[in-house]
Chain A
């Protein structure tokens, strides 16, 4: 079987469930709304990082990206839907690749648009406070933000294929994201740096310390995502549907 029709079917599945485009819309709305707040706040703190202030909304916004990835996969684990899917596409590896592509592409595109909008909104609010940002830093932040959100959506998608439940995935990931971001917080130089969300968020900062840089941090997140996807693929291929 060719890949394109399978991808077409998976894309149709995402488009025809209101909650999935809804999650992407929420990602955009929450992230840019927080950017507007950060812009209006305009801090004089010496540690003030105008790039991360623009992208601060990614912290709550990523929950929408994670939900998108989890729900897109978990809809296959209700009432024998996966059986119907695999009866139509028995090549499980190909099906899994199509599903993940259909999640990755919209997550990346919405992530990039969201990042651009968040940066624009925040800069309008910050005014001269954001003058220290170079073009390279801003491009890095926008691209990194899009890639980060895509990786988080795929991480959740892979985990859902392992756990075979969206509720289970979200009840692991959402507290995890909240705890790591708000409790472990700014502690730098610990293993927390290598957690999937923490490592990938370095790219959203103007300045960074510690062993990981923006792209190596994103690579760490990519490794976590790859591990989740491979385990998910293994689970889909090996288990009875």
Chain B
């Protein structure tokens, strides 16, 4: 099993720190979502792992080895960095044949990944006739070419149609279940929430979080309960007696913050308040993420105020 190990990694462009003392390990057997606003350093980190950019300090290794020392690296690490990397005048199949040839991967495998990514019917068309979604699929096909243990995809859902987005979700889950290391960057929260088990969040090049996704959400989003009742006054009185505060939503239901369904259900029953609906409101990744990055903004603004 192969992990991506990132140790005190820093990359400066002039005076700007794109990646700032980043340490984390991306483990096999799960999908790690790589989150952060544009310019947070996600793509730079991926380029540093692939040995394309030279770090200012620190190291990035795959399975304990620097990428540039790997022999036939496509067989160990597959990456999608930029869907525009394929030359427009080459056919999709030729594009993959070139990549395959450099790592002694047989052409048979080229046809397999074309099949897997749904490009077989357009394989002999030139890449410039492809839609953005088809180019993404071609880039993913290139990443899968060497049947690698580690898969790194930068914004793979860009330009994919809804069917493509469902397909990639299934693909990422399958790759993780096969025990591979899967790192997927995105700035789309709902999309990431649908496939990731674990999160690494960057802000201004620094590590903001490295936790399982469920934990990340639970730690950051307050538990809320959604209640509907025909007797609002009785509900509010009963809640107030137990120190809860209810806010009415414009749809007519009430939201009780910092509460759990068990407690609200019990106290409503004891007070004899009729309930039409009682449900826990699941926190979303988006809420958790916004909470985290709001904190980051506050934190970074402090020195200026002092």
Closest B-chain residue to A89, C-beta based?
A: B102
Q: Chain B nearest CB: distance from A74 CB in Å?
A: 11
Closest to B72 in A: A1
Task: Say if the beta carbon of B190 comes within 8 Å of chain A.
Answer: no
B81's partner among A8, A84, A91, A240 (CB-CB below 8 A) is: A84
Q: Is the CB of B52 within 8 A of A240?
A: yes
Q: Verify B102–A6 contact, CB threshold 8 A.
A: yes
Contact A1 B71 (CB under 8 A): yes
Q: Is the CB of A5 within 8 A of B81?
A: no
In the docked arrangement, what's the CA distance between A9 and B90, Å? 13
Restricting to A7-60, which residues have a CB under 8 Å from any CB of B? 8-9, 12-13, 16-19
Q: Is the interface of A mostly helix, strand, loop or mixed?
A: helix
Bound-complex Cα distance A19 to B74 (A): 28
A79 touches B85 (CB 8 A): yes
Kindly list chain B residues whose C-beta atoms are within 8 Å of the C-beta of A89. 102
In the complex, what distance in Å separates the CA atom of A84 from the CA atom of B84? 10
Give the CA-CA distance A90 to B73 in the complex, in Å.
8
A80-B82, A81-B85, A240-B53 given; A90·B68 CB < 8 A: yes
A8 near B87: Cβ-Cβ < 8 Å: no
- B101 CB contact (under 8 Å) in A8, A79, A87, A90: A8
By the criterion CB–CB under 8 Å, are A19 and B89 in contact? yes
Docked pose: A1 CA to B54 CA in angstroms: 21
Q: How far is the CB of A125 from chain B (nearest CB, A)?
A: 37
Contacts of A12 in B (CB 8 A): 94, 97-98, 101
Q: Kindly state whether residue A136 has any CB partner on chain B within 8 Å.
A: no
Cβ A9 vs Cβ B98 within 8 A: yes
Contact between chains at A16 and B91 (CB < 8 Å): yes
Residue of A nearest to B81 (CB): A83
Residues of B within 8 A of A79 (CB): 82, 84-86
**Contact status of A83 and B68, CB under 8 A, knowing A9-B98, A13-B98:** no
Cα–Cα distance between A85 and B95 once the two chains are bound (Å): 11
B70–A90 touching, CB < 8 Å: yes
A88 near B90: Cβ-Cβ < 8 Å:
no
Near A by CB (< 8 A), chain B positions 207-261 give: none
Q: Check B79 for interface membership: any CB of A closer than 8 A.
A: yes
**B50 CB–A CB distance under 8 Å:** yes
- Number of A-B residue pairs having CB atoms within 8 Å of each other in the complex: 86
B82 near A88: Cβ-Cβ < 8 Å:
no
Kindly state the separation between the CA atoms of A16 and B291 in the bound complex, as whole angstroms: 51
Interface size on B, residues (CB 8 A): 34
Contact A241-B53, Cβ < 8 Å, known A17-B87, A80-B81, A90-B73? yes
Task: Flag whether B203 is at the interface (Cβ < 8 A).
Answer: no
Contacts of A18 in B (CB 8 A): 89
> Which residues from chain A contact B85 at a C-beta distance below 8 Å?
79-81, 83-84
B42 to chain A, nearest CB (A): 15
Cβ of B115 under 8 Å from chain A: no
**A12 CA / B99 CA spacing, docked (Å):** 10
Is B159 located at the chain interface by the 8 A CB criterion?
no
**Closest residue of chain B to A92, judged by CB?**
B68
With a CB–CB cut-off of 8 A, which chain A residues contact B101?
A: 5, 8-9, 12
B106 to chain A, nearest CB (A): 12
B103 at the interface (CB under 8 A from A): yes
- B187: A residues at CB distance < 8 A: none
Q: How far is the CA of A60 from the CA of B86 in the complex (A)?
A: 32
Q: Are A83 and B47 in contact (CB under 8 A)?
A: yes
The smallest C-beta distance from A2 to any residue of chain B, in angstroms, reads 8
Contact bitstring B133-157, A, C-beta under 8 A = 1, else 0 = 0000000001000000000000000
Flag if B103 contacts A5 (CB, 8 Å): yes
- The answer, yes or no, to whether B104 is at the interface (CB within 8 Å) is yes
In the complex, A84→B85 CA distance in Å? Answer: 7
In the complex, the chain A residue whose C-beta lies closest to that of B52 is: A241
| CA gap between A60 and B77 in the complex, in Å | 46
- Chain A residues with CB below 8 A from B52, complex form: 83, 86-87, 240-241
> Are the CB atoms of B74 and A88 closer together than 8 Å?
yes
Q: Residues of B contacting A85 with CB < 8 Å?
A: 102
Q: Is A235 an interface residue (CB 8 A)?
A: no
Could you say which residues of chain B place their CB within 8 Å of the CB of A13? Answer: 98
Q: Give the docked Cα–Cα distance between A18 and B88 (Å).
A: 11
Across the interface, which residues of B come within 8 angstroms of A1, CB to CB? 71-72
Sample (24) of A-B pairs whose CB atoms are under 8 Å apart: A5-B101, A5-B103, A5-B104, A6-B102, A9-B101, A9-B102, A12-B94, A12-B98, A12-B101, A16-B91, A16-B97, A17-B89, A78-B84, A81-B86, A86-B50, A87-B50, A87-B73, A87-B74, A87-B77, A87-B79, A88-B74, A88-B103, A89-B102, A240-B53
Which 9 A-B pairs have CB atoms at the shortest separation, nearest pair first?
A79-B84, A9-B102, A80-B82, A240-B53, A9-B101, A16-B94, A90-B68, A241-B52, A84-B85
List 19 other contacts, CB 8 Å, given A87-B50, A88-B73.
Answer: A5-B103, A5-B104, A8-B102, A9-B101, A12-B97, A16-B94, A17-B87, A80-B84, A84-B86, A86-B52, A87-B74, A87-B79, A88-B74, A88-B102, A89-B102, A90-B51, A90-B67, A240-B52, A241-B52
